Structure 1
Amino acid sequence: MPQNYMGSLVFDFDGERLFEPGDGDMNLIVNGIRFETHRYLIKRFKKWGDLSKLGPGPRACIVIMGGASAEDFMRMLRVLYSTTLEGPFEFDIPTLVSSLQIATEYEYPALRNYAIKHLKRAELTAIKRIEIARKFDLPSWEKPAFMDLCNRDESITEEEANILGVAAFLRVTEIREREQRRRGSRVDVEREGKAIKSELAEVDLNQGTDGPTFIPCT
């Protein structure tokens, strides 16, 4: 997406425009990108709820100064406009995360809940769940994700360690080492048990062939 755009971008859904340029009644400007959109959708966000100050006409606009990028807004608008169409729709993880970010920052609870519900069903790595949980205040996501990190066989990568932070990384490493020692002890016990069974089986098989010969007394 270009960093600057003189006209307004009209949102499309799967390559088809939902409305013609000029049919929108307001604009969002994000990092120099102008999105033509509709007030009845944008006012669902609590922080943008009072649009009366914008005045009439399609040239009315809100300049967005926040953490979300123009690409985040493009993804979010895809979800927002899907509510005007017949579904159901499937959205990828980046689209859901962008929607969650904007819904959280600008206070649209229904959109936030929608994004969370669908992200729960998505195939996210443990570290991605932790990252999302921390960023969007989802504490119930963290414990299961940390358990997955502690129990998995693969080592913690440098990127994952940076996301975890020093304290959490050291704690996870400690738990992983303890779990690996426990597994190792269990494996040793299982191996010893198998060896004993094998020896007993050999004794049973050899009975009556290599044992002493008894001669009855006369």
Structure 2
Amino acid sequence: MSTSNDTSKSVKRGVSVSATLDATNNWGSSNAAMHPRTESLKAEPSLLTLYESASIHDLNGVNVRLQINNAALIKTHESRINKFTRLKQLTEAAKQKDPQSDTITITTNGGEELVDDFLKMFKLLDASLIDQPKHEPNVLVSAARIAAPNAYQYDALYQYCLEKLKELSLNSMERIRVARALNITDWEKDALTELFGRKEMITRDEANTLGMNTYWEIATEREIRNGSKLEGVLQELKDKTKEVRDQTKDIPPRGVFRMLALEILGLLVQIMGCLVEESWLAASVVYMIWMW
């Protein structure tokens, strides 16, 4: 069925009732934003709308028409969305306006990603429990954002998505992206702690993702940690020197020198490791100095 025919028939029957729910783009605002903005999960807006520009996705149901951002129309069953507290409120409000109607239209607005998030969320709900598919992180993130307490409120689905995300083997940067998409500060802190101790340098792309403030925080923490480690090694060098001196009072000078040199060599390897953060390179440098 075309968009124009679908629209005209609905108008003629007089059975479409709209209830509008506006959502903001600021996930962490005091106004309980309905949908967060993210950089990792962008959806290209459709070139069609409901009135000569809406894309239509028929999900095997026609008693509810979910219009999103005037950019897409999703047809579905009332039972599939009634577990979302806010969507249920919209359907009930629409039915009260026209209780005899077999088809109702509800409208919700939000960020650019809202249409894509809804489609991914329905994809997750359609997955067979028997097949137990492995969900992609972006599907779980989209479904979690739709089901979140400050969005459309389906707690069981929200918790399910979080548990599945925890089970995935994601690196530190991927976990930071997920944490920011869902506004979960504890997840981001844990991932940042891993970056503090990571030997590899932060890449340019990672720095752009992290942002200047977070990148500066990581660089500062790494500098502090390496400085503390170096101070500890130097103190150990002093202690070892004194220990060797006390233990070798009766040993010939050549033997004392060799013992002390070996102790110092081991500590130099640690010092070089602190400075260049690559123990194999540090060992090679010290070995060449020793042979020379």
* Deviations, residues 6-41 of structure 1 (Å, cap 9, x unaligned): 573123xxxxxxx3xxx4311212242111111112
Q: How does 1:102-141 map to 2 (within 5 A)?
A: 102-104=146-148, 105-141=151-187
User: Which residue, out of 19, 26, 36, partners 2:64?
Assistant: 26
- Take 1:140 and 1:191, find their aligned partners in 2: how far apart are those partners? 42
For the Cα contact (< 8 Å) 2:233–2:267, is it kept in 1?
Answer: no
Q: Which residue of 2 aligns with 1:42?
A: 81
* Deviations, residues 35-72 of structure 1 (Å, cap 9, x unaligned): 111111211111112212223323x2222201233222
| Percent of pairs with identical residues | 27
Classify 1:74/1:191 alpha carbon distance in 2 versus 1 (closer, same or farther; 3 Å): farther
Q: TM-score, normalised by structure 2?
A: 0.54
- Take 1:101 and 1:191, find their aligned partners in 2: how far apart are those partners? 56
- Take 2:181 and 2:218, find their aligned partners in 1: how far apart are those partners? 20
What SS does the corresponding residue of 1:123 show, helix, strand or coil?
coil
1:72 matched to 2:112: no
For the Cα contact (< 8 Å) 1:103–1:111, is it kept in 2?
Answer: yes
Classify 1:86/1:38 alpha carbon distance in 2 versus 1 (closer, same or farther; 3 Å): farther
Q: TM-score, normalised by structure 1?
A: 0.69
- Take 2:57 and 2:121, find their aligned partners in 1: how far apart are those partners? 14
- Take 2:267 and 2:177, find their aligned partners in 1: how far apart are those partners? 43
Which segments of 5 or more consecutive residues in structure 1 lack a partner in the other structure? 12-18, 196-218
1:153 matched to 2:208: no
Could you tell me which amino acid in structure 2 is paired with residue 71 of structure 1? Answer: D
For the Cα contact (< 8 Å) 1:27–1:61, is it kept in 2?
Answer: yes
Classify 1:192/1:111 alpha carbon distance in 2 versus 1 (closer, same or farther; 3 Å): same
For the Cα contact (< 8 Å) 1:3–1:33, is it kept in 2?
Answer: no
- Take 1:103 and 1:166, find their aligned partners in 2: how far apart are those partners? 31
Displacement of 1:191 in angstroms is 7.8
User: Which residue, out of 142, 161, 175, partners 2:188?
Assistant: 142
- Take 1:123 and 1:168, find their aligned partners in 2: how far apart are those partners? 23
Classify 1:186/1:87 alpha carbon distance in 2 versus 1 (closer, same or farther; 3 Å): farther
Q: How does 1:85-96 map to 2 (within 5 A)?
A: 86-96=130-140
- Take 1:191 and 1:48, find their aligned partners in 2: how far apart are those partners? 70
CA RMSD across the alignment: 3.0
- Take 1:149 and 1:90, find their aligned partners in 2: how far apart are those partners? 27
The structure whose RCO (Cα within 8 Å, separation 6+) is larger is 2
Aligned residue pairs total 183
Classify 1:155/1:194 alpha carbon distance in 2 versus 1 (closer, same or farther; 3 Å): closer
Displacement of 1:76 in angstroms is 0.7
For the Cα contact (< 8 Å) 2:175–2:187, is it kept in 1?
Answer: yes
Q: In terms of mean alpha carbon deviation, does 88-97 or 122-131 score higher?
A: 122-131
- Take 1:62 and 1:187, find their aligned partners in 2: how far apart are those partners? 67
